[in-house]
Amino acid sequence: MNYFKTGSVILILLFSITGNFTYTFYGDVNDYVILNINKVNQDPDPAISGETFDLRVRVENNGGKGEGEFIIEIDPTYPFKLVEGESKTQNIGIINGYEDGNDAIIAKFRLRVSEDAIAGDYPINVRLYKKGEDSSLGYTKEITITVGTKESAEVRINIDEIIPGEKTEVTFTVKNTGSAPIKNLEFSWTSENNALLPLGSGNIKTISYIGVSESQNLTYNVLASTNVNPGVYELSINLKYDDSLKNSNSVETHIAGVSILGRTDFDVAYYGKSGSEYSFTVMNIGKSSASSVIASIPKQDGWTVTGSSSSIIGNLDNGDYTFSNFELVKIQNTELPLLVDITYTDFEGNRIIVQKEVSIYLNSFFESDNTKNIEDNVRNKGRTTPLQGIKDSVYKLISYVVVIISIIVSVVLGRFYLISKKKEIIKNR
């Protein structure tokens, strides 16, 4: 039996190594303060390596005499430490007589388990002493804390953009961020609306073991269909593995995003010229719209720009086209194609430059007939609607037909005139 005096009252503190208080006391307990300390619980149980837990300790008085004030103190050692901002002492005040059972005083401490702690039972000391006195005059009780380990994982992807129609190698990195090895991992993924699909394999792969803080890579060849609309698509990543705490399977779901780019491309074609004014059609042949489009002629061999080198087009939806005009001088005898730069803003806000080669074949006969159309385009600042473009093409075709018919008629009339003249000469003979 252990005891110490405070004033005229004998405090009898009886402890056991296991934390369960038992004693045999002969005499009138009404005249004594008989203190009992034990562990109520820990939450969670077991405490998990690298995580916090709450420890609750009960202080009871099985005697009939009250006494105070008391301080309860916890002395954490490895693998435990106090959570930042928490105190290791609590003033529990006066302990009244027969303050036990449901009336007992409960003290709660918040602690953290070291990340490298292995599963097992660890001791922690709890000390009880009177306020204002040396803590060494009190009594220290050893309490047992159970520590367990837990599996946890994070997933990273090596890319965040995919171009439709192009086979892309995607690597998923699974890292064990828990305090226990991951065993028998089944990894799978699916994409929103099946926008991405694996090539040459299924979407499920397995890993037998990933150690603590270790990583494993899983690589897939994937393809996004050219029919998929541009945008950000959700990837649902599922991890299924053995749970050592529950002795069952644990399932984690992770969500990631992949941007499927709308491939924007342009077709630039020579349309015609009027004097030194060259006209070109610019068509968006890509999957997505392009905004703030500018056509420009860079410095190059074989061609010289005499006017503005840039033409502002504006926005072009996929499938739409317009016209751009430039004053150019072709260096004599050059057969070099003309380089045209198309600068635009994609749906992610990036400025992109696409360079096109345009072959220009001049035909003086037909170019002269196109003069009026080209001049109309120039007056419209190099822009026209698709309907106007169709009308222009029809007008050009009609002009060609009229010219051809005129030639045929001229030939026929000429032959008719010659035949008539010949008959007249024969008749006069």
Q: Within this chain, do residues 284 and 376 fall inside the same structural domain, yes or no?
A: yes
Among the residue ranges 18-27, 213-222, 329-338, the one predicted with the least confidence is 18-27
Query: What is the identity of the amino acid at 231?
Result: G
Question: Comparing 370 with 163, which gets the higher pLDDT?
Answer: 163
Among the residue ranges 99-113, 171-185, 280-294, 402-416, the one predicted with the least confidence is 402-416
With a cut of 80, say whether residue 32 has pLDDT above it: yes
Confidence band, pLDDT 50/70/90 cuts, at residue 30: confident
Q: Within this chain, do residues 16 and 141 fall inside the same structural domain, yes or no?
A: yes
- H helical segments located in 268-381: 364-369, 371-379
Asked if residue 389 belongs to a domain, the reply is no
Q: Report d(CA 5, CA 270) in Å as an integer.
A: 108
Q: Within this chain, do residues 311 and 328 fall inside the same structural domain, yes or no?
A: yes
With a cut of 80, say whether residue 281 has pLDDT above it: yes
pLDDT tens for 60-78 read: 998 999 887 899 999 999 9
Q: Within this chain, do residues 217 and 231 fall inside the same structural domain, yes or no?
A: yes
Mean pLDDT for 89-112 is 93
Percentage of the chain beyond pLDDT 90 is 54
Q: Within this chain, do residues 16 and 139 fall inside the same structural domain, yes or no?
A: yes
Asked if residue 390 belongs to a domain, the reply is no
- Give per-residue burial for 52-77: e unless 16+ CB within 10 Å, then b: ebebebbbbbbbebebeebbbbbebe
Q: Within this chain, do residues 140 and 23 fall inside the same structural domain, yes or no?
A: yes
Q: Could you list the residue range(s) of the whole structural domain that residue 176 is in?
A: 153-260
According to the model, what pLDDT value does residue 413 have? 76
Q: Within this chain, do residues 208 and 222 fall inside the same structural domain, yes or no?
A: yes
According to the model, what pLDDT value does residue 372 have? 45
According to the model, what pLDDT value does residue 315 have? 94
Asked if residue 232 belongs to a domain, the reply is yes
Contact criterion met (CB below 8 Å) for 328 and 338 = yes
With a cut of 60, say whether residue 402 has pLDDT above it: yes
Of residues 241, 155, 227, the one with CA closest to residue 193: 227
Q: Per the structure, how many domains does the chain have? A: 4
State the CATH number of the domain containing residue 282.
Answer: 2.60.40.10
Give the chain's length. 429
Contact criterion met (CB below 8 Å) for 157 and 235 = yes
Residues 6 or more apart in contact with residue 387 via CB below 8 angstroms: none
According to the model, what pLDDT value does residue 257 have? 93
According to the model, what pLDDT value does residue 237 have? 97
As a whole number, the mean pLDDT across the chain is 83
Q: Within this chain, do residues 127 and 91 fall inside the same structural domain, yes or no?
A: yes
Asked if residue 103 belongs to a domain, the reply is yes
Q: Report d(CA 74, CA 55) in Å as an integer.
A: 10
Q: Is 32 helix (H, G, I), strand (E, B) or coil?
A: coil
Q: Within this chain, do residues 248 and 218 fall inside the same structural domain, yes or no?
A: yes
Confidence band, pLDDT 50/70/90 cuts, at residue 394: low
Last residue of a domain, one of 148, 173, 206: 148
With a cut of 60, say whether residue 96 has pLDDT above it: yes
pLDDT tens for 219-271 read: 999 999 877 888 899 999 999 999 888 778 889 999 999 988 877 889 999 99
Q: Within this chain, do residues 200 and 141 fall inside the same structural domain, yes or no?
A: no
Q: Which residue has the tokens 């002969």?
A: 26
Contact criterion met (CB below 8 Å) for 221 and 196 = no
Q: Report d(CA 103, CA 358) in Å as an integer.
A: 93
Supply 226's token pair: 């050219």
**Strand partners of residue 314:** 293
Q: Within this chain, do residues 179 and 230 fall inside the same structural domain, yes or no?
A: yes
Asked if residue 391 belongs to a domain, the reply is no
Q: Within this chain, do residues 141 and 12 fall inside the same structural domain, yes or no?
A: yes
